[in-house]
Chains A and B, each alone.
Chain A
Amino acid sequence: MSLAFTIPTIETERLRLRAPVLADFEHWAAFFETERSAFEGGPLPRRAAWRVWASDVSIWALRGYGPFGVEDRATGAYLGEVGIYEGDSFPEPELGWFVLPEAEGKGYAAEAARAVMDWAHESFGWTRLVNIISPENTRSIALGQRLGGVIDPDAEGEDPGDVVIVHRLGACA
Chain B
Amino acid sequence: MYKTVKHQLFILPFSGGSVKYYNKWLTHLNPSIQVELIEMAGRGIRKSDVKYNNFDEATLDLFKIIKNKVDTSNFYIFGHSLGALLAYEISLKFQTEQLDLPKAVYLSGRTSPFYRFHENVEQLSSNEIIKELQSLGVEDIDIYKHPRAGKYYLSLLCGDYNLTKTYCKQEPILSKVNGHIFYGITDPFAVDINSWQDYFENKLDIHCFLGSHFYINNNFKEIIEIINKNIVLSWKNKIYVK
A and B: real partners? no
Which residues from chain B sit less than 8 Å from chain A, CB to CB? Answer: none
Which residues from chain A sit less than 8 Å from chain B, CB to CB? Answer: none
